[in-house]
Structure 1
Amino acid sequence: MSDPVTPMPRDGGWAAYTDHARRLAALLQNERSRAEQQATASRSGQAALDQITHRLATQRQHLHQLAATLRLPEPHIGGIAPSPVPDPAEALRRAVAAADAADTAAEHAHRQAAQPPLLPGLTPLARNALVYTAAATLGTLASLLMFAVSPDADLGRIPWQLVPWSLCGLPALAFFAGYLTISLVGQPRIGGGGTRSARAGGVICFVGMPILWFIFIAATRG
């Protein structure tokens, strides 16, 4: 007994079969392409995540070093909270933007710390000269006030007991006051480059103040 012969599909059935086969092949190709795209996006996302994680670790170390240099309290960096953004790509974009903003803020703080708190826009010599001049001016005013309230001045005599103070004591106080002011608020906190201009301060206080005192004596005696 011979095997039954499978009947060939009619032309209409064969066309439908080939059409479904083409559709199935297209679906499989689309699924394969979509899977490859997802795998590529996953690898790119993982690389971006690793990069931002490394960047945040570097930022944390830099913040601790900057706080120690500026003698500020150590920054407290808490744990990572879950992101409210459901899209991973958008969450990564926001994380990169936040890291950029943190870098900008740290750079701004670094620039400010590299400038002294007192008169940051001036050169060190100009700033120190102004400080010493202000101290010398106050010292000269104190010397003239002591001269004015002295009983000898009322009698038309030079108060010789005030001469050591006017020529040595007050200039020394003015110099050390200016030197201390520059040391406290006239020096950059990081980066170095600061100077106290002790020689210029000595000229301003120990030469300028006696000259002003002698001018005052000459004017009152004349």
Structure 2
Amino acid sequence: MTGQPDTPLPRDGGWAAYTDHARRLSALLKEERASAERQAAAGRDGQAAVDQLTHRVAAQRQHLHHLAATLRLPAPQFGRVAPGPIPDPAEALRRATTAANAADAAAENAHRRAAQPPLLPGFTPLARNALVYSVAATVGTFASLLMFALSPDKDLGRIPLHLVPWSLCGLPALAFFAGYLTISLVGQPRIGGGGTRSRKVGGVICFVGMPILWFIFIAATRG
């Protein structure tokens, strides 16, 4: 029976070259496999980072809509932005993360400013309200003194009795409501609550302080 001839074994030098190439091929295959695994891991990490950033941007959008509604501002518009020439996905992801961090910082700053009243935000509520009522009482006192100075009874050496109700009741009431309205409009935080109008303090300043100043003025001018 005639069979195929056996394959001749390579000589020692050929076998050594064969095994050397086989080892190199095996090492190359391992390196390619490791590189592919690294790329796959980087792709998974990148996709996870993109998903996380996408959820973060969606939460930011919802927060901005809520903040705009709370501050009674127009709803923000989110248009599409043309992608920039950034060929490296890692660099693009880094820039997107930086932009998201800046957006969070801006939203936090807006929230912090909205939690403070527009008028004298660095003052405590009591100090701010007392100052507002004091300014209103001072203006009312000057108006009362001006009315007294322009009254014809003053030239006759008499107290203008027709000005007494205004000086003791009318003008203090106007000063109180002017201060109260000012505090209500620009002296209250727009979000977060915690505002106060200090009505008792305003009442003391306007309805007690103004008449005292008026009596002191009358006593000084007649004494």
**Shorter-chain TM-score above 0.5:** yes
CA distance in 2, matches of 1:138, 1:83: 59
Corresponding position of 1:34: 35
Please give the residue correspondences for 1:152-171 in structure 2 after superposition, counting only pairs within 5 Å: 152-171=153-172
Letter in 2 for 1:67: A
Counterpart position of 1:118:
119
Structure 2, gaps ≥5 residues long:
none
Describe the superposition over 1:50-107 as per-residue Cα deviations: whole angstroms up to 9, x where unpaired: 0000000000000000011111111111125324211111111111111111111111
- Using a 3 Å threshold, how does the CA distance of structure 1 residues 12 and 215 change in structure 2: closer, same or farther? same
Q: Does 1:97 align with 2:98?
A: yes
Residue type of the alignment partner of 1:11: D
Q: Tell me what 2:109 maps to.
A: 108
Identify the residue that residue 152 of structure 2 maps to in structure 1.
151
How far apart in 2 are the matches of 1:159 and 1:191?
49
- Name the structure 1 match of 2:17: 16
Matching of residue 84 in structure 1 with residue 114 in structure 2: no
> What is the total number of aligned residue pairs between the two structures?
222
**Where in structure 1 do 4 or more consecutive aligned residues deviate above 3 Å?**
none
Match of 1:64 in 2: 65
User: Structure 1 stretches of 5 or more lacking a match?
Assistant: none
1:181 Cα deviation from its structure 2 partner: 0.3
Letter matched to residue 62 of structure 1? H
One-letter amino acid of the counterpart of residue 116, structure 1? P
Tell whether 2:56 aligns with 1:55.
yes
How big is the shift at 1:3? 3.9
Cα deviation, 1:112-133, whole Å, max 9, x if unaligned, reads 0000011111110110000000
Matched, 1:184 2:185: yes
CA distance in 2, matches of 1:86, 1:11: 52
SS at match of 2:75: coil
State the match for 2:128 in structure 1.
127
Identity %: 80
Q: Compute the RMSD of aligned alpha carbons.
A: 1.0
Measure, in 2, the Cα distance between the counterparts of 1:124 and 1:113: 15
